[in-house]
Amino acid sequence: MASFWHKSIAPLHNLLGKPQIDVRSLQTRLTAGVVLTSLVGVGAVTAWMGWRMQQIVLDSHRQRTALVADRLREDVQYYSTMMPPQEALDKVVEYRSTGDLAIWVEAEDGELMAQSEILTMGSWQAAGVSAALLSMPIVPGTEVMPVGDWRLVVCAEALDIAALPAATVYIADDITADYRGLQQLIRMLLLTSLGLISLLAIAFALYIRRALSPIRQLNRLAGQVTADTLDQPLSLATAPTELQELLRSYNLMLARLSKAWGQQKRLVNDISHELRTPLSLVQGYLESTLRRGQNLTPAQREGLEIAAAETSRTARLLSEILDLARLSNGQGVLNLEPVNLSDIVYEAVALATKTQPYPVGQVNVVDLASAVAKVDRQKLRTVLVELIDNALRYSDPQQPVQISLEQQAGWATVAIQDYGAGIPDHCQGDIFDPFYRVNEDRSRSSGGTGLGLTLVRSLVEAMGGQVSVQSQLNQGSVFTLRIPT
Ligand code: ADP
């Protein structure tokens, strides 16, 4: 039931409930086009039908009045042979009049020669129609005239009868009831067409929405492509032919990108690998020269020390690049085993504090829960050393660094907190990107490579964990690792 609602009613709900309409969307444009076309089409048919119906009704009344006018002339001529012409006229006028048909005859000088009785009584007189008709100028012929809220077909024709003075016969046919019925019919026709157009609009909107859904699906699929999935072509069985062509081109582009990405990774890997050996040689040579160089001048010693420090930083950079390349190639296989995390915390603290070239603050281990997780012991130690190292480097020596380990609901949480430089809000989302540094100078002078946090995130995620940061400028930072236990 829920899925039925979702499939059939939800699009309608979205359609009607959406407060904003995107005028640039294909769906809106197609729907608007279809609705406009149906409005024009159905509107034109309705208008034509209304007009035709009106014509048919009016024509039948026109014919009726014209017919009565002709008969009246013949009847008067006939009865004039049997009685005085004026009496014959009165008789025929009365005989031909009905409840909705009034007749009157006027001489050329305007004198009323005869009139139907209904003109002098009943609703014709009460509504003031008789008075209005008798006083208004009426041209010869047949026309529809509004009198008050009545509608009349009025026919005026010359009455040439030898025994009578020249006169005009007027016949008024009351078509108010027919006219109102017709108006109501046209209103109903309009309402029905509007309802029909609304239904059509909804049906077309749903149909168009459905027809465009493969585009949305394709968009979703394309949005999920990452550097690691470049080699997996997208496929959408329900896509129409036009979209299949686009999909083919898109997949070709993905294949080219995947190839280029693979070449780039291999290149970085190879270069780092090739540079590592000669660099180790240089580093060894510099260190042994410094160890045995009792007769070096202070300037030579300083120069060699700077060269040794830079070589060591570059060696570290190469090793981090290699680690990252291996992780993204899938070559950096993790050796996962159940490990007591507090042991690794202690090992990392010992390592990080021992390797600092400058005086640094104290590292305090607080709140250490006992937690066992399946991790790569050595890699997790590298992660913790990197974070502790950063915390010490970006704090003054008198500011301590605190580490805690908690275990809760299937997750172990290691927090490394410092009270140092902190990270501005707008940089916090970028610090895990390769070579991103908040303060380039400070980072370089303290031996940073700019790849430490990138490696931390890659390693932690490879072990199924997460890493996040909370920081305030000049107040300090907390880096939090969450590892599934
Ligand atoms: P680096 O080798 O330059 O330290 P990282 O990837 O380890 O590179 O860190 C990226 C940037 O994040 C650093 O340059 C630094 O600006 C900032 N950063 C990392 N850790 C801290 C910290 N604990 N306190 C303040 N800034 C930090």
Q: Where are the domains of the chain?
A: 45-185, 242-328, 333-484
Query: Pocket of ligand 1, candidates 419, 431, 445: which has the most ligand atoms within 8 Å of its Cβ, to mutate?
Result: 431
Q: Which atom of ligand 1 is nearest to the CA of 418?
A: 23
Whether the predicted model's global pTM rises above the 0.75 cut: no
Read off the pLDDT of residues 376-409 as tens digits, 9 standing for 90 and up: 999 999 999 999 999 998 998 888 999 999 998 8
Cβ of residue 455 lying under 6 Å from some atom of ligand 1: no
Long-range CB pairs of 260-266, under 8 A, 24+ apart, other chains included = 261/227, 261/230, 265/325, 265/328, 265/329
Ligand 1 atom 3: residue of nearest CA: 450
Quick: pLDDT tens for 209-223.
998 999 999 999 999
Could you say which architecture CATH assigns to the domain 242-328? Orthogonal Bundle (1.10)
Mean pLDDT (whole number) for 69-82: 89
130 pocket-lining for ligand 1 (C-beta < 6 Å): no
Query: What b/e string do you get for 236-267 counting C-beta neighbours within 10 Å, with b at 16 or more?
Result: beebeeebeeebeebeeebeeebeeeeeebee
Residue 13 confidence class, pLDDT cut points 50, 70, 90: very low
- The CATH class, in words, for 45-185 is alpha beta
Q: Which amino acid is at 349?
A: V
Paired with 338 in beta bridges are 374
List pLDDT tens digits, range 141-194. Answer: 888 888 888 999 899 988 888 878 889 999 999 999 988 998 898 899 889 988
Rounded Cα distance, 174 and 469, in Å? 89
pLDDT digits (tens, 9 = 90+) for 202-257: 898 899 999 899 999 999 999 999 887 888 999 888 888 989 999 999 999 999 99
Q: 44-47, long-range: CB within 8 Å, 24+ apart, which pairs?
A: 45/193, 46/189, 46/190, 46/193
- 452 CB within 6 A, ligand 1: yes
CATH number of 333-484: 3.30.565.10
Say what the pLDDT of residue 265 is.
84
Strand ranges inside 381-453, DSSP E: 401-408, 411-418
Residue nearest (by alpha carbon) to ligand 1 atom 11: 437
Q: How high is the pLDDT of residue 334?
A: 82
